[in-house]
Amino acid sequence: MTDVHKRYGDTRAVDGVSLTVRRGEFLGLLGPNGAGKTTLVEIMEGLRQADAGTVGVLGTSPWPRNLALLPRIGLQTQASAFFVRLTAREHLRTVAALYGAARDAAERTLAMVGLTEQGDTQVEGLSGGQRQRLAIASALVHGPELIFLDEPTAALDPQARRDLWQVLRDLKGEGRTIVYTTHHLDEAETLCDRVAIIVNGRITALDTPARLVAAGSGNTRLLVPADRLTEARARELPGVLDVQVDGDVVVLETTEAGPLLSAVEAVAGLQGVRTRTASLEDVYLQLTATGDR
């Protein structure tokens, strides 16, 4: 897409975005609530019309609504619709039939998202996380080339989240293209080939997680139990750039971890002290700190 704009009244939800997703790529869209991620994805999906700019999906235009694209893309949105009176299996078979997918596709996809045991449960009797997995299954059942997932792991418990990561890795391994939004930065760092950080309708960073982290702050953080070091005392230590109290730890930021560790050892001892190098979350917080929320 090139120079895409979308306004709602005075709100510039998408404000001049140019972005190319490569085939087989796993692209993460990150950004604060209201940054414009969903609007951007809905434009790519053909669910919303851009005010300006050009959009191409799998070599064709998604708007006006392009029926030929539907079998080739899979969508899971934050407001996925279900046939609530059907069982999970019946729901998925119905979706599979709508797309003309192979007969065994529903069963395979149920297993893929770990819902085989819930196959005979009515959709309205599924838990929030199970419904979310069914929504993901509905996006995948017809084997689409391009998959859009909007916060797919939001309602999932830690084990289900890890299981879905594996499903996503397998899909990528099959050569499928995945565009997904998430607020889990650890997840984006592990899964995505590239991430785009969106603030106020604009892409403020777009690169591999490793390069974004390397280009961000190279600072190291020392985490010291708060019962052993006060914030004021921490600020007096040599080489400390910043101090923050985060629950029961004092976080000291420095470029020179060695001398600071020695100073911390002298005043507080090293028991329970941890170090943490920069992560995608640190870069994200830096880039989004000045954005209006």
Ligand X SMILES: Nc1ncnc2c1ncn2[C@@H]1O[C@H](COP(=O)(O)OP(=O)(O)OP(=O)(O)O)[C@@H](O)[C@H]1O
Which residue ranges make up the site for ligand X (CB under 6 A)? 8, 11, 13, 31, 33-39
Nearer to ligand X, 9 or 158 (CB): 9
Q: Comparing C-alpha atoms, which of 112, 280, 287 is closest to residue 192?
A: 280
Least distance to ligand X from the beta carbon of 14, Å? 7
CA atoms of 172 and 146, how far apart (whole Å) = 10
Nearer to ligand X, 10 or 104 (CB): 10
Nearer to ligand X, 37 or 194 (CB): 37
Least distance to ligand X from the beta carbon of 134, Å? 20
Least distance to ligand X from the beta carbon of 159, Å? 24
Least distance to ligand X from the beta carbon of 293, Å? 10
Tell me the two tokens of residue 67.
């029926």
CA atoms of 90 and 82, how far apart (whole Å) = 11
**Which residues does 285 contact at the CB level (< 8 Å), separation at least 6?**
none
Can you state the percent helix, strand and coil of the chain, rounding each to 5?
A: 40, 25, 40
Nearer to ligand X, 4 or 222 (CB): 4
Least distance to ligand X from the beta carbon of 115, Å? 25
Nearer to ligand X, 5 or 228 (CB): 5
Q: Tokens 């899971």: give the residue.
A: 76
CA atoms of 208 and 28, how far apart (whole Å) = 10
Q: How many CB atoms lie within 10 A of CB 228?
A: 16
How far, in Å, are 134, 222, 237, 272, 281 from residue 254 at the CA level?
46, 8, 10, 18, 17
CA atoms of 36 and 29, how far apart (whole Å) = 10
Least distance to ligand X from the beta carbon of 183, Å? 7
Nearer to ligand X, 28 or 31 (CB): 31
